[in-house]
Chains A and B, each alone.
Chain A
């Protein structure tokens, strides 16, 4: 049984159907890239899997470790090991990044029956994980994402992923808005978190992230459906030919 099984998933936002029957199976240890033009439903898929209340599933099912993911509250999904790296990370004024990171980690540890980390233990872990994303320590004492540059926000997402150690990581356009240095750092961070127990779904518009992270599978999303699936060469073909040929092919 796959770690994640999506069957005929339909989802709507504000009453408008965006996902029109998605089928996708992701196994532990695999990296899947979901690509597609703007408006194809990529972010809707990512947010629906994380349980955003505005993204309403109208049909189909999603099994995670064989259990009904859609019945779980967003926090339950997170505690069970589902992680979404946001396309637009949210600013939380007045709450320090360190406090936020520690709070999330301790919720997950409690769920797994582990003891909470105290301040010293957490700081040690944090120092180690900061290296993964080449992030400055000063950013952890600032309010969450407030005043962060675009690249810092994305790195902060990967830092959270490194700390929370999910089984299933969904990265929503983690490469968008990054300059080449930030892209390299973020991609290296993601690559270093690859492992046999962990699955990743990379949602992206561009192929360039895949220069750093080689996916096992590539899926093309168009108009709310997966219209092509293949190996890493499919991404290169998209890069070369753009999305128009897909649109024409399915028209």
Chain B
């Protein structure tokens, strides 16, 4: 009797990624043992999992089929210095003199990076002296789930490098740390699996700005995973800016774990990419932990932007505030799905969530779904969603100050967006973004 072949057939869409993994392991990897182990576990999970489809509740409105149709491959490590456009783009993305780590097509570009001196570690994993054994090993792969989330499994198996930020106990990094990921699509159909780890130990403070952008006219794919671990009393401002070029695909997950009395201020802004899917999951896993999540998406043309957030309150006295705003033009589509889960022990939770959308065009659509799941009995939770027009009284006020109706509409729209940008503490970045909003929303000024 002949043996039955029980190997599962590999879906065609997985082939390029499995080929990347094979190439990576064949080439005698310089990875430390712990990372090789993580990759092996993740790839085996990836083999088992399927890519999400619109039959999955969490992906109901966002089809990843356009991403899977293209055989994106990890880029080889071309010297970043030889890629002029990518270099310029990376420079423009960060204020002069700022602390920054720059990655081009997933590869660390030390020439473009500038690392702060001081007690904090800001480095690419590949450049860490002990191969990340002390700072990275205990955390990478610990928070972001690669057992169930296909794209996270893929990222964990294929990650090019890891941008590591570690702020030791009681230390503060005053200036923002910029982590800039440039995709250069002139190199072919590239898929970059970018990875960030931010660890703020007890009472540490830092601001981290992740920026994703692209140069070139071709399609490319960014598959981003960020893990943020906040120790007791730590305070982190985390900003994620998706400024990908217009044919880009971006799928990203930010997974946050917060200790007692820690504080996260998150701002997530999407102004680029043909298709972007952002998952932001926060676990408030200590008493008195607090998070504020602000989001803004500006869409036009045939763009599709999907924000999924989950805030889990697992301990008492947690506070969460969430405001996501969208401005949709053209035939674009946006999705907001925000879930707040209050566990049985999380008494005295105080949670507020809102999603507001402005539709500038009759062809734009938004699907919004705020959700509350409450298993504790002594909590204060509110949520709401609005798809609205501009305030008529405010319009009249501006017109009575000599502005045309169109100008008044533009200015109110700008104000609506600018409220999110105002949450960013770093002034040069805030001004840069406001300038961008003005040039986009206040045409004719």
Q: B-contacting residues of A (Cβ < 8 Å)?
A: 50-53, 73-75, 77-79, 83-84, 86, 89-95, 100, 103-104, 107-108, 111, 143, 160, 164
Contact = CB atoms under 8 A, between A and B. Distances in A.
A104 B415 contact: no
Contacts of B415: 92-95, 143
Nearest to A94: B415
Contacts of B267: none
- Contact size range, B: 20 to 34
Interface string B52-90: 000000000000000000000000000000000000000
The secondary-structure label for the interface of chain B is helix
A199 to B, nearest CB: 17
B394 A78 contact: no
Contact of A94 (B401, B404, B422): B422
B431 to A, nearest CB: 12
A50 B400 contact: yes
A94 B418 CA distance: 5
Contacts of B397: 86, 89-90, 92
Contacts of B403: 75, 103-104, 107
Contact of B400 (A74, A92, A93, A143): A74
B392 A53 contact: yes
Contact of B419 (A52, A78, A83, A94): A94
Interface string B374-407: 0000000000000000011110111111111101
Contacts of A73: 399, 405
Q: Which 3 A-B pairs have the closest CB atoms?
A: A94-B415, A104-B401, A94-B418
Contacts of A100: 398, 401, 411
Given A53-B396, A75-B405, 4 more contacts: A83-B400, A92-B398, A107-B402, A143-B419
Contacts, number: 79
Contact of B401 (A51, A53, A160): A160
Contacts of B400: 50-51, 74-75, 77-78, 83-84, 86
A171 to B, nearest CB: 13
Interface of B: 391-394, 396-405, 407-408, 411-412, 414-419, 422, 445
Contacts of B419: 93-94, 143
Contacts of A78: 399-402
A234 B313 CA distance: 66
Nearest to A76: B402
B444 to A, nearest CB: 12
Nearest to A103: B403
Contacts of A51: 399-400
A89 B400 CA distance: 11
26 contacts: A74-B396, A75-B399, A75-B402, A75-B404, A78-B402, A86-B397, A86-B400, A89-B397, A90-B391, A92-B397, A92-B398, A93-B415, A93-B416, A95-B412, A95-B415, A103-B401, A103-B445, A104-B398, A104-B401, A104-B402, A104-B403, A107-B402, A107-B407, A143-B419, A160-B401, A164-B402
A181 B19 CA distance: 77
B296 to A, nearest CB: 11
A235 B275 CA distance: 67
A95 B416 CA distance: 8
A44 to B, nearest CB: 14
A169 B182 CA distance: 55
Contact of A103 (B392, B393, B411, B418): B411
Contact of B417 (A77, A84, A94): A94
Nearest to B442: A103
Contacts of B393: 90
A108 B418 CA distance: 25
B120 to A, nearest CB: 32
Given A73-B405, A103-B407, A103-B411, A92 B394 contact: yes
A104 B412 CA distance: 14
